[in-house]
Chain A
Amino acid sequence: MVRVTNLRKHFNGHKVLAGINFRVRKGEAVALIGPSGSGKTTLIRTINGFVIPDAGTIAVGGQEIKYRNPESLRQARKKIGMIYQLFNLVERTSVQVNVMAGALGRLDRGLSLLSSTLGFFTRQEREKARELLGFVGLEDKVRERVDRLSGGQKQRVAIARALMQEPELLLADEPIANLDPKASKKIMELLLRINQEKKITLITVLHHLDSVRDHFGRVIALKEGAICFDAATRTLNDHRVQDIYSIEEEFACVAAQAGSI
């Protein structure tokens, strides 16, 4: 589903991604962990084209992402859903309108481009948005304004927006970092349910190791822009965790790449 080959990126002489290689199979759920500044967010943003890599390639669904071609990039983004730490919703509009934004990529030609720009959608699309809001458990908030929702509810709206795209791949950048423990648990369960029921591949940046152990079969750890752990979650023992998050032992990073490549 996702194939990352030899990915490199630096900002102002500072190396952020130093040759990343991994594959994610269709339907897999992968947690991406690592200390702050290890390049997790950059990696995620390279997959949906908001960061242009210096070298290396990424293919999603067998199609390589062409960063210099806006139209092809847009086509690639249509099948990638994205969940953010701060939800990134348009606060002043209704829940439904925010979810409808997920359909914009489909409605990109002729009359439907015009009407969707002005905020008019077909009955079919509106029904779909309502159905997805039911799926994430917000059927009673359809017409509510987003700025009146709680953090957990906002993240559900963002998930419904991503599902509206009918994505093949779902990326999440610290989706629960701004939520309380109860809401966090529910959001993680929802994401995993989407992964299992809808067979949507899931890659999530997470800081919360308990969540990782509870929900994910596979973990990729980044450290200083390189992969230092990529294996089944059950092999992630305390010693490994210490390695990943240690600052003193700079070279303790063992390339324990197993299974996936």
Chain B
Amino acid sequence: MRVGYYPGCSLHGTARELDESLRAVAPPLGLELVEVNDWSCCGATSAHATSHLLSVALPARNLALAEEQGHDQLLAPCAACYNRLASARHAVACDAALAETIEDVLGRPFPSTVAPRNLVEVLRARLDLLRERAVRPLTGLKVACYYGCLLVRPSEVCSFDDPEDPVSMEEVVTATGATPVAWRRRLDCCGGAFSVARTGSVVRLSRAILDDARSAGADAIAVACPMCHSNLDFRQKALVRRGEAELPVLYLSELVGLALGLDAETLGLGRHFVDTKALVERALASKPGPAAKPGPRPSAPAAAAKPASPAAAGTEAV
């Protein structure tokens, strides 16, 4: 399965391990990631705080490039990039005048045929392969799935899961053999881009998230956003109170990689601020499981098989 790949700026910088782990898990999951040639920044937080037109035009340019290069889907592993791409596409679909302006600005036609995909969506669409190839199931590992704010909201833009009570990340984590924990703050904001401008706010918000995950008994937090990762991982040193254990924060692709039997270095697990060694050792110690496990499956594949749901139909195509 060939998918357009839009790493975005962060995957070339602070989130290199997301890029590395994703490229590593792609082949066993039957994905061929083709990086879009000549991609540019999505505009991130700055563009839409400055100019609406710019905030649509920048992502639209990347979607148009993907289109020209023959893709019908574009994977943006960064939740912020995904949100910008999806928002731009939605804005153009809702506003014919804007659609015309965008074509003028881009200087190329923009029929908007490319569907932006996020990390969770793409992994969830390959659960069967993941279950089959999970040679090192992460049995016993308790994971708090953290969606943050940009992955599932606003609902009219990101319609792949319930905006207030999503399940897709938990489905992926379950397929790795780990156990998702029930906790409250999985959709709360970590402070996002205020990490530098208002560190105090970020510390307060991120601490609440870490506290809640810890009290729910999680061994690790799974994320699908470089900004969330940065706030929870990089800031954690400053957040932990005396005597508190640190909580490793892993990208969903890293967890998937561990379950697929890939080694820590390939997955970029050495790049974290919070030490992941103990967790990796625990994963390595787990018995190599039979590839395809019998027993009841979570409801995800059944739900994805329903052609009635447009969201499910969309993910099937991934």
A complexed with B = no
